[in-house]
Amino acid sequence: MRRKIYLIQPTYRARDGRLFQGRLQALYSCAIPALAAAIPSHWERETCLEFFEDVDYDSNASVVAISSMGYDVFHGREIAEAFRRRGKVVIFGGYQAHFSRGLLKDVADCIVIGYPGPREMAGILADVEAGSLLSEYDAGVDLNFPFEYSMLYGHRIVFMPILAGVGCRNRCDFCCTAARHGGEYRLRKLRYVLADLMALRKRSRRFALVDSNIYNNRGYLLALCAAIERAGLGFRWGAEATPDIGEDDVALRALRRAGCRILFIGFESLSQRSLDVVRKPNDTAAYERAMANLRRHKFIVAAYFMLGLDGDTTETFDEVFEFIRRTGVHLPVINVLLPAPGTSVFERLGREGRLLVNTEEGFLRNSLFYSNSCNSCFFRPSGMTAEELEEGVIRLRRRLTTLPEIVRRSLAYDPAASAFLLTTNVRFLRDSRRITAAWKARRTARQEDPAGAAPGGWT
């Protein structure tokens, strides 16, 4: 057989059936760079990042490997079926494969769970050559090798992806990372992170750590920052963290010296009861102190909020708006609680009879805007109705996207940061308008046929 593998990161279909493709992405997954680097050298590689380019269904590769991050799994199935009809061996992996074995087993020759490194991929491809490929492999977690980023070059990606670790120390009931890793995390050896940064430096001076939480291990974070500072690479970058990092002056100074300027922080809720119910170990009493310290250290803060938790009421929307204004959040990220299949909150709401969509396919197919289910309510909240939750989120978005609010949030510590914030806040405005238009259309359809659609759009 021909020793050639075609690595594909699929995009997804919007509600009108068209593939979501474009020329610019703020951030891209590092799944294909990691997978490409793990392929044995005696195998030829071909790659496709479908957001930027079309899949070549006439590829002469003998093996096709598809990596799915989530809602793209359905179009990934289409790709798999097309290549199997052409007689290719199809391997399906990526983050979503862990949760979606049932959706994938009929379209793939094998499913790979985990994060395969060179040893694991060599074994899988040896089995392909021997005709002894298993239906499923648990590849474990191997992050300790340099990734291959060449397939990202030439595409417009604002922040190149860098991975320092996977998993999270927290076990939040709503989180897919917690469902996948169970409160455990694995850290990559610093020399491999630095090797990736050295390679990327030739192409870009901006990157984002795509870890779920860079504050999993404080000692590792400080060592990483020190290594970046010593290398003098000149990057400007961002990362995700928990709110408690805002009280750690030593870590914040280290991050600044290493070039970090943006922190994406999951505040999630201003209600301690809401957080306690979903086992989110945040302390709401420390939020304003953390934000004041982040401002003092001149960080741009993107703050995530999740609405619809059990402590939320119709007053929550005003409280979130005032917090954003009062504390100087630069980039608000507003989501509705998504009880995704596989998470603890999905199981609990199911037991309580509160789910409006109770199948994996129903959740993954839902798309209010760009297949992002976090703008729709698929359950019965305890403190309001599903309709009130969706309407409250729409009103909150409207208040956050007035011209005065956009200008206020775009004022930063230097002109370059202000330009970035203005661009990002304008994008937030455009997204909010599209989300609002889709919500209005769904509400009209529901009024015309009350029995035809649940609040989330599915029965």
Do 59 and 98 share a domain, yes or no? yes
Do 259 and 395 lie in one domain? The reply is yes
- d(C-alpha 8, C-alpha 46), whole Å: 9
Q: Is the pLDDT of residue 157 over 60?
A: yes
On the question of pLDDT at 29 being above 70, the answer is: yes
* Residues of the chain by 3-state class (helix, strand, coil), percent to 5: 40, 20, 40
User: Is the same domain home to 115 and 206?
Assistant: no
- Sorted by sequence, the CB contacts under 8 Å of residue 424 that are 6+ apart come out as 331
Q: What is the domain count for the chain?
A: 2
453/365 Cα distance (integer angstroms): 14
pLDDT tens digits, 285-326: 999 999 999 999 999 999 999 999 999 999 999 999 999 999
b/e for 236-274, b at 16 or more Cβ within 10 A?
Answer: bbbbbbbbbbbebeebbebbeebbbbbbbbbbbbbbeeb
Strands 136-141 and 63-67: unpaired
Query: 270 and 402 share a domain?
Result: yes
- Tell me whether residue 193 is exposed, middle or buried, using C-beta atoms within 10 angstroms of its C-beta: 0 to 12, 13 to 18, 19 or more: buried
Q: Average pLDDT in the 157-179 region?
A: 94
Instruction: Please check whether residues 347 and 399 belong to one and the same domain.
Output: yes
C-alpha span between 117 and 36 (Å, rounded): 10
Instruction: Please give the average per-residue pLDDT across 66-90, as a whole number.
Output: 93
- The pLDDT of residue 102 is 86
Note the pLDDT of residue 74. 87
pLDDT of residue 434: 86
Same domain (yes/no): 420, 344: yes
Q: How confident is the model at residue 38 (pLDDT cuts 50, 70, 90)?
A: very high
In a domain, 256, yes or no: yes
Please tell me the distance from the alpha carbon of residue 209 to that of residue 197, in angstroms, as a whole number.
Answer: 11
Complete DSSP assignment for 258-296: TTEEEEEEEEE-S-HHHHHHTT----GGGHHHHHHHHHH
- What is the residue-averaged pLDDT of the chain? 92
Same domain, 132 and 169: no
Q: Look up the CATH number of the domain holding residue 181.
A: 3.80.30.20
Phi, psi (deg, nearest 5) at residue 161: -85, 135
Q: Does residue 48 sit within a domain?
A: yes
Annotate 94-136 with DSSP letters as a single string. Answer: SGGGGT-HHHHTTT-SEEEEEE--HHHHHHHHHHHHHT---SE
Could you tell me if residue 432 is inside a domain?
yes
Residue 39 is part of a domain; what is its CATH number? 3.40.50
Is 237 a member of any domain?
yes
Residues 87 and 168 in one domain: no
453 inside domain: no
Closest-CA residue to 11 (of 64, 65, 70, 97): 70
Res. 186: pLDDT tops 90: yes
| Phi, psi of 192, rounded to the nearest 5 degrees | -80, -35
Q: The domain containing residue 54 runs over which residues?
A: 4-141
CA 401, CA 395: separation in Å to the nearest integer?
10
pLDDT of residue 369: 40
Higher pLDDT, 72 or 191: 191
- Whether 249 and 209 map to the same domain: the answer is yes
| 150 domain-assigned | no
User: Do residues 130 and 194 share a domain?
Assistant: no
Same domain, 122 and 187: no
Looking at the fold, whether 277 and 400 belong to one and the same domain comes out as yes
- Which residues are within 8 A (CB) of 189 and not within 5 positions of it... i.e. 6 or more apart? 144
pLDDT tens, position by position, 223-244: 999 999 999 999 999 999 999 9
Q: What is the pLDDT of residue 458?
A: 37
- Residue at 368 is within a domain: yes
Say whether pLDDT at 23 is over 70.
yes
Report if residue 258 sits inside a domain. Answer: yes
